[in-house]
Amino acid sequence: GRPGRPTRGRAGARALENQIGRRYGQCVSLVGEERSSPVLVVEDDAGVREFLVSVLVEQGYRVVAAASGEAAAELLDGERAQLAVLDMGLPGMDGFEVAELLAPDVPVIIVTGDPVGAYARMQGRVEHFQVLPKPVAAELLEHAVAAAV
């Protein structure tokens, strides 16, 4: 983890996961070529954002995380995301407005307390959108990410 932040036992889990990964040769490509392109996470709730980031990092992704769409645009700074995990109800730009900033073929996972509202707003981009209701289970996010990339 980062200095000054509790790791909550992730370091031990990561070490074990790395051993298992090496032993069974799993997910090598994630660490190599695909890893160069980040997964964008935009979520204004710090606890939920940390959870989403931890799940993605444990899967071997490089993650760029922001609390708002405006901050996300600055963080990406022209870099292309391979996937975006977006909260629908953000301060300022909402998740759909953030999605519009991305290349049209970037898959988007909308994480929301209002899945019905999210489906209503998908505006014909259904093939690149998935909607996950909050609270999000780690397994559900992992499946959605695997299906998207």
Beta strand ranges found along the chain (DSSP E): 39-42, 63-66, 83-87, 108-112, 129-133
Give pTM, 2 decimals. 0.74
Burial class of residue 43 (count of CB atoms within 10 Å of its CB; 0-12, 13-18, 19+): buried
pLDDT tens, per residue, the chain with 149 residues: 444 444 444 444 444 344 333 333 333 333 334 446 899 999 999 999 999 999 999 999 999 999 999 999 888 887 899 999 999 999 899 999 999 889 888 999 999 999 988 988 876 666 788 999 999 999 999 999 999 98
